[in-house]
Amino acid sequence: MGRVAVGVAVVCAATAVAVAAVVVRRRMRSSGKWARAEAVVRELEEKCATPTGKLRQVADAMTVEMHAGLASEGGSKLKMLISYVDNLPTGDEHGLFYALDLGGTNFRVLRVQLGGREGRVVKEESMEVSISPNLMVGSSDELFDFIAAELAKFVASEGEGFHLSAGRQRELGFTFSFPVRQTSIASGTLIKWTKGFSIEETVGEDVVVELTKAMERQGLDMRVAALVNDTIGTLAGGRYYDNDVVAAVILGTGTNAAYVERAHAIPKWHGLLPKSGEMVINMEWGNFRSSHLPLTEYDQALDSESLNPGEQIFEKLISGMYLGEVLRLVLLKLAEEAAFFGDTIPPKLKTPFTLRTPEMSAMHHDTSSDLRVVGNKLKEILSISGTSLKARKLIVHICDIIALRGARLSAAGIVGILKKQGRDTVTSSGSEKQRTVIAMDGGLFEHYTKFSQCMESTLKELLGDEVSESVVVKLANDGSGIGAALLAAAHSQYTELEES
């Protein structure tokens, strides 16, 4: 019995040693994978770094490119498009005006009754419609017919409180948030699509003509009075309520900026100088590019797989269309190289644009002790369950790295505009300091709180306390809709009749 007992003890001991060895190996493998995951994130953090010095270089590069784009067509990656808007709203506008805001995966139709300086916006109604992915890559007629049909339905629902003067045609401000070569206040040819649209036959065509033909096919009697970019619409809407608005920035699905330039500082402008002495410039800043931009392997992968490789690099770093996709690419690398989600790579993680920026924002803002929002989003969107708290914390950290890089670069871009306008230093008119207001619009700025807070604090960091005291960032919510209607009012075919 003694020998049996000893034998059993030996076998048990050997088994225990073997089990312990397996556990140790697993732990070592696990700690090795975790070390690899941490190394991937550390490298991401280093490559995404935006120290103050680098941001100043980005701001300076933006100013240089602005000068180059104003000097000649094709002189810069920034198109610096002349908008033909040389007068912004004053507050005296009155009557019924419509706006159509086509700026991404949704479009909005809007009507406003304007009551002049006393009444301002008397009444306003709007409707939002989503565009199906097949229309974004279909034919030009299909897209514009769909838009015109929805617009006709909206006009048919015009109710009390909206009054069109007898014998007048309805007038529309058309906010078209894609690069357009404007030829007058109400005409412009499409340069290229962005934000996931790709309808080749529309490129080079006048988008006002395309919309007008579609409205005629719907039997809708409406005139396009102004073709504006969403950023110019935001600038106009901002100026209507605050005379110190000098620039507008959109941070949403896509991104862009517009600002008020002195007409004599535009060498490529060959027409008569406008009476106001000013001209609104549509920068198309999403296409800004500089060697100072902190690019990573994930940005390069995203760019090469995009519909427009080598284009819209700034937009791919800072806008809502792409932040979530950069996060997905980082998580995919963690899954492939560090078995971050287990031994198999979650299939949904391989699908581009599965992880959208609103979901990234929800994870980034998770304040629960167990980060359950992060866990729920991973399960809902990517079918990944059973993640550890440690893993969730790392994911929140990755969100932080990506979002804060975008926010800080956005701030640097704004400082570049202020430098061009000479508003990056303390100036005063009489005894009062010059006030500078930047009108902001877009879901990324409005809803991604950590992004917008970081952008504003970075502006202060770059401008310094004294200058930033007189620089105000203001949400001009729905500025692109109201702004387009206001510009339609300002460019109404009936304006001269009223004045006479």
Active site residues: 108, 177, 230
Torsion angles phi and psi, residue 420, rounded to 5: -65, -35
**For residue 435, what are its two tokens?**
């006030």
Rounded to 10 degrees, the C-alpha dihedral 324/327/331/337 comes to 140
Q: How far apart are the first and last CA of the chain?
A: 121
Q: In this structure, are residues 220 and 413 in contact, taking their beta carbons and an 8 Å threshold?
A: no
Nearest to 193 by CA among 303, 99, 274, 311: 311
Q: What angle do CA 370, 298, 353 make, to 5 degrees?
A: 65
Task: Report the alpha-carbon distance of residue 45 to residue 405 in Å, rounded.
Answer: 9
Instruction: Give DSSP secondary structure letters for 206-217.
Output: BHHHHHHHHHHH
**CA-to-CA dists, residue 16 to 11, 22, 155, 237, angstroms:** 9, 10, 80, 75
**CA-to-CA dists, residue 263 to 82, 423, 429, angstroms:** 10, 17, 21
Task: Report the alpha-carbon distance of residue 223 to residue 221 in Å, rounded.
Answer: 7
Task: Report the alpha-carbon distance of residue 255 to residue 439 in Å, rounded.
Answer: 13
Q: Quick one: which H or E segment has residue 82?
A: strand 81-82
Nearest to 227 by CA among 107, 130, 101, 120: 101
